A and B are shown apart, each in its own frame.
Chain A
Amino acid sequence: MLEKDGVPEDFDIEKILPPHNRRKSHPYVVVECFQEIPCDPCYESCPFSAFEPFKHIKDLPRLDYQKCTGCGICISYCPGLAIFAVDETNDKYDLVSIPYEFVPLPKPGDKGTGLNRTGEQVCECTVHRVKKVKNKTHILTLKVPKGMGNIVRHFVPFKTEHHS
């Protein structure tokens, strides 16, 4: 529960997701920022100006999903690590991009466990893409089972002997 431990419930998430047909047409970002904290780097980061201008520094970010391409550039700018990108355009699987600040940085093809917003292990996932970012908030794109794109929010790699 948001007020208790900062974790949004399903109905909190539903409120911020784009309409159903938009979700199916192309990727989009999900901004899980529900508290009016003084902060605006997401607005500054978007190359498509998809975030509506802030009237006050404490405003919650509002996205124009006509402009958002789901590129996920904003993910690594958010100081709260609260932005994710979801791609539900494939019938067989979903892709979800998450901010990742742990070592070792996984490689494409690595497998691991997907965790939901409360840290429960919910599925196996495969690292689809790794975007190394200069500010060290790297972006992992995970291939997850269909329907899990808005469930999986963290990744723990399986332990392998390859990682040093």
Chain B
Amino acid sequence: MRIKEHPILEFPERRRVEFYFEGKKIYGYEGEPIAAALHDNGIMVYRDSIRFGRPRGFFCAIGHCSSCFMIVNGEKNVRVCVTPLVEGMRIERMRKKKGERES
């Protein structure tokens, strides 16, 4: 959900672009962090935790906590809270594979 009207802020018009989440075409604004576009689309789970496979998502919003790692255009461990959205990007969750070692 986007803020439509705000008492203090004005959000400038930006270019709406398509990108892909797990192969499905969705939309966001060019240049905003990937996480903002995902959140607007109701996508909250970004990956599984390494050890216990627990859902992980947005947390700190400033690139410090590593909760929001995803696969972006095939590259793993991209912090989507600080990576700008580019038209046509392919975003995937980092899922824990079955049988992966639980230390």
Contacts and interface: CB of A to CB of B under 8 A. Distances in A.
Task: Answer whether A and B touch in the complex at a CB cut-off of 8 Å.
Answer: yes
Interface in A70-115: 101-105
B4 to A, nearest CB: 9
Say whether chain B's binding surface is mostly helix, strand, loop, or mixed. loop
A102 B6 CA distance: 7
Interface in B1-20: 5-8
A117 interface: no
Contacts of A146: none
A106 to B, nearest CB: 12
A136 interface: yes
A103 B7 CA distance: 5
Interface in A117-154: 136
Interface string B3-44: 001111000000000000000000000000000000000000
Nearest to B5: A103
Contacts of A103: 5-7
Nearest to B6: A103
Nearest to B8: A136
A101 B7 CA distance: 6
A101 B8 contact: yes
A58 to B, nearest CB: 27
A81 to B, nearest CB: 12
Contacts of A105: 7
B2 to A, nearest CB: 14
B1 to A, nearest CB: 15
Contacts of B6: 103
A137 to B, nearest CB: 9
Interface of B: 5-8
8 contacts: A101-B7, A101-B8, A103-B5, A103-B6, A103-B7, A104-B5, A105-B7, A136-B7
**5 shortest A-B CB distances, which residue pairs?**
A101-B7, A103-B5, A103-B7, A136-B8, A102-B7
